[in-house]
Amino acid sequence: MERKIAVIRGDGIGPEIVDGALKVIDAISEKYGHKFIYEDVLMGGASINVYGKPLTDEFLSKAASCDAILLGAIGGDASVSPWYKLESFLRPEAGLLKLRKSLNLFANLRPSYLYDELKDACPLKEEIVEDGFDMVIMRELTGGLYFGERETVLKNGEYVAHDNLVYSESEIRRIAIRAFDIARKRNKKVTSVDKANVIDTSRLWRKVIEEVSKEYPDVKLEHMLVDNCAMQLIKNPKQFDVILTENMFGDILSDEASMITGSIGMLSSASLRDDSFGMYEPSHGSAPDIAGKDIANPIATILSAAMMLRYSFDMIAEANSIENAVKKVLEDGYRTVDIMSEGKKEVSCSKMSELIADRI
């Protein structure tokens, strides 16, 4: 099979972790006889440095012409980087928002899984996580508060700001279908998270989710208020299978769900739409504090590449092969510094990628 991948290395540790993931994809290509063509796309600070903007229309079209996108991370340290002295639409993050919106990547999927080998790194009490947990958070990504009209005005001698939170039935329905489809292939449970006791968009959200759930009688649906969900994630994470929620709630809850695994360098993510195209990236940022040192954990990006094979290319055996190689490397005792513990073997970013590629 031949597939074209837009490769966005981005900023900070982005180039290191993406190169690690490409090593693993090359190993898949060799083992299964696929041809992967890599198209370099500049985005974020790397693009600002050359073109003065975080994503040019040419690179956007190039990314859109591929079958999927593999992204490292973008952005820098806002307290020192000159990128953050620019207007907000010219900053690195604006490139990512433009890409998501232009390509209509409305569904963000983040698995949160506790590896047996990394239980020590989990900040929750042992009795809470003794049986592990395995959930995904499906976050709506192109609507809601982050995309509504906003304004700051001077009124009666003081600044007043507002941000609009808007959702249409169709925006809610399309992500609900995605979430129920995924739950059907997992443990058949959707927890829809909202704030329906207070806000209108949440009441509409709940109504549409109820309608969609009728098409999936085999999938159990429950509703949970966002404040309760934040608490339940810490109290009993094992209860969750697919958490489905809107943009801002998902932003916050998915970071919480990442943290309880104790290892942000391990967590992959996918941004999907309703065809096979998708963008795949680690859940973490560009980690400017450790950039260029070859110590970043490449596993989140490598597992994101596995999601790309599964969701965009329908290469299930190949995706399993990457996930098993990651498990094997952890079983064999190799760790990057962020997940290091006593008695284990500390390796660099490039070495970890090589060890995983060797196990494909």
Dihedral of CA 78/79/81/87: which sign? Answer: positive
- φ, ψ of residue 320 in degrees (nearest 5): -60, -35
Contact 308, 70 (CB under 8 A): yes
Site track 136-175 with ligand NAD (rule: CB under 6 A), x = hit: ----------------------------------------
Q: How many CB atoms lie within 10 A of CB 196?
A: 18
Strands 158-163 and 278-282: unpaired
- φ, ψ of residue 296 in degrees (nearest 5): -65, 155
146 is catalytic: yes
Give the orientation angle of helix 349-358 with respect to helix 299-307, to 10 degrees. 40
Site track 9-28 with ligand NAD (rule: CB under 6 A), x = hit: ----x---x-----------
Helix, strand and coil in the chain, % to nearest 5: 45, 20, 30
Nearer to ligand NAD among residue 297 and residue 312 (C-beta): 297
Residues 329-358 that bind ligand NAD (CB under 6 A): 338
Nearer to ligand NAD among residue 81 and residue 202 (C-beta): 81
Site track 251-270 with ligand NAD (rule: CB under 6 A), x = hit: -------------xx-----
Dihedral of CA 320/321/323/328: which sign? Answer: positive
Task: List, as one string, the DSSP characters of 222-281.
Answer: EEEEHHHHHHHHHH-GGG-SEEEE-HHHHHHHHHHHHHTTT-GGG-EEEEE-SSS-EEEE
227 is catalytic: yes
Q: How far is CA 3 from CA 32, 35, 109, 309, in A?
A: 13, 6, 22, 10
Report in angstroms how near the CB of residue 292 gets to ligand NAD at its nearest.
12
Residues 293-312 that bind ligand NAD (CB under 6 A): 296-297, 300
Report in angstroms how near the CB of residue 21 gets to ligand NAD at its nearest.
11
* Residue from 251, 294, 327, 344 carrying the catalytic annotation: 251
40 is catalytic: no
Asked if 2 interacts with ligand NAD (CB under 6 A), we say no
Asked if 278 interacts with ligand NAD (CB under 6 A), we say no
> How far is the C-alpha of 154 from the C-alpha of 135, rounded, in Å?
45
Nearer to ligand NAD among residue 263 and residue 312 (C-beta): 263
Among 75, 95, 111, 144, binds ligand NAD (CB under 6 A): 75
* Residue from 146, 280, 311, 334 carrying the catalytic annotation: 146
Among 85, 289, 342, 343, binds ligand NAD (CB under 6 A): 289
* Residue from 227, 314, 332, 358 carrying the catalytic annotation: 227
Q: Residues with Cβ < 8 Å from 276, sequence gap 6 or more?
A: 67, 311, 312, 313, 314
For residue 134, what are its two tokens?
């395995």
32 is catalytic: no
> How many residues interact with ligand NAD (rule CB under 6 A)?
22
Nearer to ligand NAD among residue 192 and residue 297 (C-beta): 297
Report in angstroms how near the CB of residue 268 gets to ligand NAD at its nearest.
11
Q: List, by residue number, the catalytic residues.
A: 146, 195, 227, 251, 255
Contacts to ligand NAD by CB under 6 A: 13, 17, 73-76, 93, 96, 264-265, 281, 284-290, 296-297, 300, 338
